[in-house]
Amino acid sequence: MRPDAQPGHLPVSQPPAAHLPVLYTQVLEGLQVIEDGTYLDGTFGRGGHARGVLQRLGPGGRLLVMDKDPEAIAVAEQSFGGDARVSIRRASFATLGQWDQAQALDGVLLDLGVSSPQLDVAERGFSFGKDGPLDMRMDPDAGQSAAQWLASAEEREIADVLWTYGEERQSRRIARAIVQRRAEQPLLRTAQLADLIASVMPRGKDKIHPATRSFQAIRIHINRELADLEAGLDAALARLKPGGRLAVISFHSLEDRIVKQFINRHAKAPPANRRLPEAQAFTPTLLAIGGAIRAEDDELAANPRARSAVLRVAEKLAVTA
């Protein structure tokens, strides 16, 4: 049975035409929004999914939204600030457990990574295709910019980041080039870094820009994306109520592996260990709702960003003593 066909849950329709939130219908089906439920969107972005949740809430429902990015939070305040059902907090979803209002949640959504506006605005420094300051911070008031990090990190650390978070086979070659170049002039602009990477990459059959993997890796490192995801998943599980739903959209295999392993760890008993005298008691706290959900052809045709999106949904189980 489709989740939205269950009694008590509201049917899912298409998003407003102007917005293209990824896997919109599947997310709302997965969350099974109930009218008087409390939902947390940890990655507001431009509010495409949040708006869908809000439309399904009645007067007794609540929507809590978070984003690290001040521009996303400004949009949330402008769009929903006057709605008494909505609370807005500028912070990482990794800290959702520190938000008093985030209790007994019926659903948590994490739509990971960067938003289209972050990629589109050159000044944010996320894009190798648009020259801008080499920043890449989702929260421009926290931590080091990409330029600051590249100015001081050791060659080995840069290579490790490119390899681990970008699976960039030329990681050492690129790291060496960065360290040599910065001795002559600081790397301050996205185009400078993109050109430098392109100049040292062997000519291959790759259809993507030679700096794609390196930019992804540096962005993940600068924003501590994987550590935030791990902390956010733990916090979400702790704050969901039994029957509450967790929905997470990943955009690359490193994220999806963390989400998949998190759900499995809480849903399935670990394999028996011959070194332990007795099997450890295991009580599942999550139920996986289906497997990996990907965009269908009509969405892919309308929104190329959906190509790499993978949604996983799980439900928190009641733990009986």
Ligand X SMILES: C[S@@+](CC[C@H](N)C(=O)[O-])C[C@H]1O[C@@H](n2cnc3c(N)ncnc32)[C@H](O)[C@@H]1O
Name the minimum Å distance from CB 212 to ligand X.
17
Give φ, ψ of 293 to 5 degrees.
-110, 130
User: In the set 38, 92, 127, 190, which binds ligand X (CB under 6 A)?
Assistant: 92
Stretch binding ligand X (CB under 6 A), from 67-75, 97-105, 181-189, 273-281: 67-75
Residue closer to ligand X, measured from CB, 182 or 224: 224
3-state helix, strand, coil in the chain (%, to 5): 45, 15, 40
- For residues 245 and 312, the answer to whether their CB atoms sit within 8 Å is no
Residue 188 contacts ligand X per CB under 6 A: no
User: In the set 34, 72, 86, 237, which binds ligand X (CB under 6 A)?
Assistant: 72
- For residues 214 and 76, the answer to whether their CB atoms sit within 8 Å is no
Distance in angstroms (rounded) separating the CA atoms of residues 211 and 201: 9
Residue 127 contacts ligand X per CB under 6 A: no
User: In the set 29, 106, 168, 228, which binds ligand X (CB under 6 A)?
Assistant: 228
Instruction: Outline where DSSP puts E strands in the chain.
Output: 38-41, 62-67, 86-90, 105-111, 240-250, 286-288, 293-294, 310-316
Residue closer to ligand X, measured from CB, 46 or 239: 46
Name the minimum Å distance from CB 21 to ligand X.
3
| Stretch 14-53: interaction string toward ligand X, x if CB under 6 A | -------x--------------------xx-xxxxx----
- For residues 125 and 146, the answer to whether their CB atoms sit within 8 Å is yes
Distance in angstroms (rounded) separating the CA atoms of residues 219 and 207: 21
Residue 66 contacts ligand X per CB under 6 A: yes
Distance in angstroms (rounded) separating the CA atoms of residues 26 and 22: 9
Residue 125 contacts ligand X per CB under 6 A: no
Residue 138 contacts ligand X per CB under 6 A: yes
Binding site for ligand X (CB under 6 A): 21, 42-43, 45-49, 66-69, 72, 92-94, 111, 113-115, 138, 228
